[in-house]
């Protein structure tokens, strides 16, 4: 785990090599987070992977989040790992909601990390984030004809209301 100084050094070097890519850093509870511009996320990941003294060559996890009342609304998180130094670096891209029922878009990093194939599909399935350049972007967990993005905060939890004694008066004659 790079410490706060190490994180600033990485952010500085990355900002020099890929101008405009770093928009912020965050070091919280031992987790070093690099907030990157969503348009340059693939270039930033390539630099972090291929630069010899960085060499974050393993994408341990790629996941999303929805910070609904906030703007930008969506976060895409890349958990990078250097297996030699056992150092983890968290790269975060924040996406605005485009509105008009459009889906937010981001460049795919499958060409850098083949493991991102299924994980980007899962993000598309659960959050409706479209990855440009993904070889086969379709739903992975939900049925293909499913409508909606179930892990978004404004998606209803679903299921059926459970009948307890405290709410059974709302459905009279439920036993019939």
Partner 1 sequence: MEIVRGHAGGPEDFRVRQLRARDLLRGDLAGTDLEAHVEQSVLTTTFERAVNWARSNALWPATFGLACCAIEMMSIVTARYDSARFGAEVFRASPRQADMLILSGRVSIKMAPIIRRIYDQMLEPKWVIAMGACSSSAGVFNNYALVAGADKFLPVDVHVPGCPPRPESLIHGILKLQRKVQGEPDLGWRTRYEAEGTEEVGEPAVPHGA
Question: Three-state DSSP class for 11?
Answer: helix
Residue selected from 52, 158, 172, 173 as contacting partner 1 according to rule CB under 8 A: 158
Rg, Å, the chain Cα set: 20
To partner 1, the closest distance from the beta carbon of 160 in angstroms equals 4
To partner 1, the closest distance from the beta carbon of 122 in angstroms equals 13
Residue selected from 29, 53, 157, 165 as contacting partner 1 according to rule CB under 8 A: 157
Residues 104-143 that bind partner 1 (CB under 8 A): 141-143
CB–CB of 128/98 below 8 Å? no
Part in contact with partner 1 (CB under 8 A); list of ranges 8-16, 43-51, 88-96, 144-152: 144-152
As given in the structure block, the two tokens for residue 65 are 């989040």
Distances (CA, A) of 12 to 30, 32, 58, 155, 175: 19, 14, 22, 39, 67
**How many CB atoms neighbour CB 113 within 10 A?**
19
164 binds partner 1 (CB under 8 A): no
To partner 1, the closest distance from the beta carbon of 121 in angstroms equals 15
Residue ranges binding partner 1 (CB under 8 A): 141-143, 146, 148, 150, 155-160, 162
């Amino acid at each position: 785990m790079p410490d706060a100084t190490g994180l600033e050094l990485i952010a500085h070097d990355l900002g020099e090599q890929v101008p405009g890519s770093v928009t912020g850093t965050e070091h919280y509870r031992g987790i070093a987070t690099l907030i990157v511009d969503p348009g340059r996320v693939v270039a930033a990941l390539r630099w972090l992977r291929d630069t010899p003294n960085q060499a974050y060559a393993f994408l341990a996890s790629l996941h999303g989040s929805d910070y609904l009342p906030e703007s930008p609304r969506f976060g895409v998180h890349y958990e990078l790992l250097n297996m030699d130094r056992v150092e983890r670096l968290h790269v975060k891209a924040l996406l605005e909601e485009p509105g008009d029922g459009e889906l937010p878009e981001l460049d795919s990093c499958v060409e850098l990390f083949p493991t991102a194939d299924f994980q980007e599909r899962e993000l598309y399935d659960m959050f409706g984030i479209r990855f440009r350049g993904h070889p086969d972007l379709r739903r992975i967990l939900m049925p293909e004809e499913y409508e909606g993005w179930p892990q978004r905060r404004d998606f209803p939890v679903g299921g059926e209301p459970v009948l307890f004694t405290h709410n059974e008066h709302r459905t009279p004659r439920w036993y019939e």
